């Protein structure tokens, strides 16, 4: 293998060396239990508090509104389950979208099994929900709207500010037990986030999408929002999430959040330049491609492309053989195909849904990476199309 190019930053990011250095120092030096009253414990408490301030700053929240978790999935579980349990007396209806991450979709499905009603808003061909649909879906017994800020497969950005404004309107009109959660795991560090501007009540973030390690995340909980605790047995995180804090990971998260806030403009411009040049070259060199999702309202680092006549997993593994890491939302297992629910929600046919690949760029990618990937990709697509019986019809 002569080259390795990582284009799967929406799955996870490499740990920034500056983040790794902060974490290593914490591992070696900050080993006290933050709940302990002695000096070692207070040193750890201070480190956790500093990290909490940095994570809060990233989204313009107050530090005491940040609850550290084990990651985005736990944050989404705590937000949805916790809010539903605390609000069930006011209603048992949730509004979400058809393209949520499995950690939101799965919790909503589980709530449905427990008698909750779920409205899943469509996203149409551009991958974006419509405010009119949301407005029409809100009922007197709706207690939660949970909509992702940006999608993990196609990168489309939802109209979060408009959603927040609509919910404020509904509250002002008397629906006081209606709450708004957004899964911002893909958006944090890639879009400017201000929880007060948006008016969300709950917001999930994951550290490993921000060049920090896996296993740590956070839930923003606006002051006054009641959540039923999901992890019990300790007083940590202001009684909202029991368990001794993962101090080194939280320190890393704090450092990554600081760097993301300071470098967001540079990172976004860098990723967008690479992504746009990549897409341009793909369109020039490869015919019969479909770019999935809205062209404008999307994250700057992500490109989701369907290659006609071929299947995504075959392309993914061909690219992997040449050192290029990408991902596909479709999976074939035990003779059952599960086309990506996100791509299907765009209204595209099975063939396009099966042939979709996500390329997600990051701050360490270069122009040379784009050149290499485009060359490898066009060869792999050509090779797979030469094998495909669909081209017999498709090119006639």
Partner 1 sequence: MPEYSNQFKDHLAHPRNAGELAEANAVADEQNPVCGDRLRLSLMVESNRIETARYLAYGCPPTLVCGSVLTELITGKTVDEARQMTKSDLLAGVGGLPSRKQHAAALAIETLNAALDRLKVDS
Residues near partner 1 (CB under 8 A) = 309-311, 313-314, 317-318, 320-321, 332-337, 350, 354, 383-384, 386-390, 392
In contact, 237 and 68? CB cutoff 8 Å: yes
Task: Provide the minimum distance between the beta carbon of 335 and partner 1 in the complex, in angstroms, as a whole number.
Answer: 4
Task: Provide the minimum distance between the beta carbon of 90 and partner 1 in the complex, in angstroms, as a whole number.
Answer: 43
Give the nearer residue to partner 1 in terms of CB position, either 204 or 328.
328
Task: Provide the minimum distance between the beta carbon of 309 and partner 1 in the complex, in angstroms, as a whole number.
Answer: 7
Task: Provide the minimum distance between the beta carbon of 6 and partner 1 in the complex, in angstroms, as a whole number.
Answer: 15
Euclidean distance between CA atoms 82 and 52, whole angstroms:
21
Collapsed DSSP state (helix, strand, coil) of residue 99: coil
Nearest CA to 361 out of 263, 298, 275 is that of: 275
State how far Cα 253 lies from the chain centre: 16
Alpha helical stretches, state H, 101-212:
102-113, 131-137, 160-172, 195-198
Give the nearer residue to partner 1 in terms of CB position, either 232 or 331.
331
Task: Provide the minimum distance between the beta carbon of 386 and partner 1 in the complex, in angstroms, as a whole number.
Answer: 6
What the block records as the tokens of 199 is 């008016």
Count other C-beta atoms under 10 Å from residue 351's C-beta: 16
In which order are the strands placed within the sheet that holds 289-291? 289-291, 302-307, 356-360
Give the nearer residue to partner 1 in terms of CB position, either 272 or 290.
290
Task: Provide the minimum distance between the beta carbon of 4 and partner 1 in the complex, in angstroms, as a whole number.
Answer: 14
Count other C-beta atoms under 10 Å from residue 382's C-beta: 12
The reply to whether 332 belongs to the active site is yes
What the block records as the tokens of 70 is 């084990």
Give the nearer residue to partner 1 in terms of CB position, either 263 or 313.
313
Give the nearer residue to partner 1 in terms of CB position, either 1 or 89.
1
Euclidean distance between CA atoms 273 and 366, whole angstroms:
10
**289-291/217-221 β-pairing:** unpaired
Nearest CA to 194 out of 127, 95, 263, 261 is that of: 261
Q: Of the listed 84, 108, 200, 332, which one is catalytic?
A: 332
Positions marked active-site: 332
């Amino acid at each position: 293998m002569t080259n390795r190019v990582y284009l799967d930053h929406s799955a996870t990011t490499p740990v920034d060396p500056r983040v790794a250095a902060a974490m290593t120092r914490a591992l070696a030096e900050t080993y006290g239990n933050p709940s302990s009253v002695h000096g070692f414990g207070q040193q750890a408490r201070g480190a956790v508090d500093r990290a909490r301030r940095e994570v809060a700053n990233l989204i313009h929240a107050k530090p005491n509104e940040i609850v550290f978790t084990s990651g985005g999935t736990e944050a989404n579980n705590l937000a949805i389950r916790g809010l539903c349990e605390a609000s069930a007396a006011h209603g048992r209806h949730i509004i979400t979208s058809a393209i949520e991450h499995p950690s939101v979709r799965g919790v909503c499905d589980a709530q449905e099994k427990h008698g909750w009603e779920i409205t899943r808003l469509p996203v149409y061909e551009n991958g974006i929900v419509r405010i009119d649909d949301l407005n029409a879906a809100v009922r007197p017994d709706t207690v939660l709207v949970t909509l992702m800020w940006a999608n993990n497969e196609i990168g489309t950005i939802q109209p979060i500010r408009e959603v927040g404004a609509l919910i404020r309107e509904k509250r002002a009109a008397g629906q006081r037990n209606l709450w708004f959660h957004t899964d911002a795991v893909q958006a944090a560090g890639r879009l400017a986030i201000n929880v007060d501007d948006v008016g969300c009540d709950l917001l999930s973030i994951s550290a490993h999408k921000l060049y920090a390690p896996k296993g740590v995340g956070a839930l923003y909980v606006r002051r006054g929002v009641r959540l039923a605790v999901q992890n019990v047995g300790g007083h940590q995180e202001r009684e909202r999430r029991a368990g001794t804090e993962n101090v080194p990971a939280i320190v890393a998260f704090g450092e990554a959040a600081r760097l993301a806030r300071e470098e967001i403009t540079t990172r976004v411009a860098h990723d967008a330049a690479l992504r746009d040049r990549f897409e341009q070259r793909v369109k020039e060199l490869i015919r019969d491609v479909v770019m999935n999702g809205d062209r404008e309202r999307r994250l700057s680092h992500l490109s989701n492309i369907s290659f006609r006549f071929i299947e995504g997993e075959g392309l993914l593994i061909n690219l992997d053989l040449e050192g290029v890491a990408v991902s596909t939302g479709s999976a074939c297992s035990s003779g059952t195909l599960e086309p990506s629910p996100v791509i299907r929600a765009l209204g595209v046919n099975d063939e396009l849904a099966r042939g979709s690949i996500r390329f997600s760029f990051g701050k360490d990618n270069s122009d040379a990476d784009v050149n290499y990937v485009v060359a490898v990709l066009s060869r792999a697509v050509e090779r797979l199309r030469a094998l495909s019986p669909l081209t017999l019809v498709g090119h006639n």
